[in-house]
Chains A and B, each alone.
Chain A
Amino acid sequence: MRERNKFSKDTGEVRRDDFCGEGDGALTTGTFESALVRHLPALYATALRLAGRREDAEDMVQESAMKAWEKRGQLRHPAALRSWLFTILVRHFYDRMRKKMREPSVVDVELDSVLSDRATQMEATIFDAVLDEEVDRALAGLNPDFRAVVWLIDVEEFPLRDAAAMLGCSVGTAASRLFRARAMLREELAAYAQHRNIGGGESR
């Protein structure tokens, strides 16, 4: 038994039109632009989730696209184009966040301490009853470090290792953040559910 295969699925798929295939690995203007347009919805959704404001998200995506174009020569493996675009976006977000000093980074804990948690009994009642806007609200309430890792792995389905590279942390740290973030989401959703008298959230 294992968790949904987030930890081995490679989503940085090769597409013929991502890469001109001319031997030197270089992306031409046309192929770069078409790849960017194809990934734009996901990049924008990620930027919006990280930044919170539409204006900031649009700025982030624009600046990241320009950076990606400038650094396209550094892309050694065209198969990793999607992952590479997200890496630039996420790092750009962290650069902005550091400059604005808006949110403190989380204090990371050892993965083992997160993995000792026992499953709660909330799933039967909560998972089917939670409202979409409550998930949005719970995500928005997370610290950006937690929000980023949940979004990249659970929504964009990047492998744990890719997400860790984007976030600039070790795989263990990314995993620790992921499981803590999911636990926080469950707690928050359980609180919403209790508020609506659905119940749940007790430890088994």
Chain B
Amino acid sequence: MTGGMNCIQARRILILHEPLDDMEPATEHVSGCADCLAFFQQEEKTARLTQNAASRPAPPASLRESILSRLSHISGRKRLIGRRTAYALTGSLAAAALVVISLLLWPGSDEHKSVVAALTQHHAMTVHAPDRIQSGSDEEVRGWLRGRVDFSVVVPHLDGGRLRGAAISVMAGRRAAVLNMELDGVSATVYVLKDERVDLSGLPTVERKGNILCTAGNHGCNLVVWKRAGLVYAVVADLDLPKLMAFVDAVADQV
């Protein structure tokens, strides 16, 4: 008996942290009791051994992908119900833009290849459509994109514009980051993907602030595509080309 209590009482109090008033005498007991010191040292060593030696296999990549896909599906569908109008607009714009970009970016100009590419990629986009986030926070969108694409995505700040969200899509056979933005009340989409066998030859080009930009239009959509630092950027919007260029300038200055 040390410190006015026996070993079991002292150990119980220190382990359960109650009653708090007895913590001090319990500590006093253990400090002066060889058996209790040995007891706690042995427990400590056992815990440390387990922590250091137990194996911790990493989760398979497929598990992470599967969970994120299911979550995106669930969360995307729920948000769709609440914000049907916004999504309908964004979705139709994105789908149209995707087909346009797919047709333009796919290497080679054989029509059948372009059609196949467009159809398969549109299908891929449909499959991946729920993988999106709706947020106006740059930080949140960057965090969401990190891990979904293997390159860094800059979320541009636009005067008079705002970020609405992001999505993942598949273009020209690779994953692309898709930023949904709004400028002066008009929706615009910024696509970012790796520059691997992306062929922009044949598109009309303009020089803008020292950058060579490729332009194209289809079904009322205009788009501007350019390459920088191993990435391909495309901006698509239902804007005439001069207005779209102003939007592009703001984006290109920041990426």
In the complex the two chains form, what is the Cα distance from A154 to B51 in whole Å?
6
1/0 per position for A95-131, CB-CB distance to B under 8 A?
Answer: 0000000000000000110011111100100010011
Interface size class of A (residues with CB under 8 A): 35 or more
Interface check B36, CB cutoff 8 A = yes
Interface check B54, CB cutoff 8 A = yes
Known: A3-B44, A4-B48, A111-B12. A136 touches B54 (CB 8 A): yes
Point out the residues of chain B lying under 8 angstroms from A171, CB to CB: 16
Contact A1 B35 (CB under 8 A): no
Known: A30-B140, A65-B67. A132 touches B42 (CB 8 A): no
In the complex the two chains form, what is the Cα distance from A197 to B51 in whole Å?
24
Distance of B76 from chain A, by nearest CB (Å): 8
Contact A33 B68 (CB under 8 A): yes
Distance of B129 from chain A, by nearest CB (Å): 14
Contact B44 A4 (CB under 8 A): yes
Point out the residues of chain B lying under 8 angstroms from A69, CB to CB: 71, 74-75
Distance of B190 from chain A, by nearest CB (Å): 18
Point out the residues of chain B lying under 8 angstroms from A58, CB to CB: 59-60, 63
In the complex the two chains form, what is the Cα distance from A115 to B39 in whole Å?
9
The total of chain B residues at the interface (CB under 8 A) is 58
Chain B contacts with A in 125-148, Cβ cutoff 8 A: 133-135, 137, 139-141, 143-144, 146-147
Contact B40 A182 (CB under 8 A): no
Interface check B174, CB cutoff 8 A = no
Which of A38-46, A76-84, A86-94 lies at the interface with chain B?
A38-46
Interface check A62, CB cutoff 8 A = yes
Interface check B246, CB cutoff 8 A = no
In the complex the two chains form, what is the Cα distance from A17 to B68 in whole Å?
17
Point out the residues of chain B lying under 8 angstroms from A150, CB to CB: 50
Point out the residues of chain B lying under 8 angstroms from A44, CB to CB: 57-59, 63
Contact A186 B46 (CB under 8 A): yes
Known contacts A1-B31, A32-B71, A186-B46; 7 additional CB pairs below 8 A are A28-B133, A29-B133, A31-B143, A37-B147, A116-B7, A117-B39, A136-B54
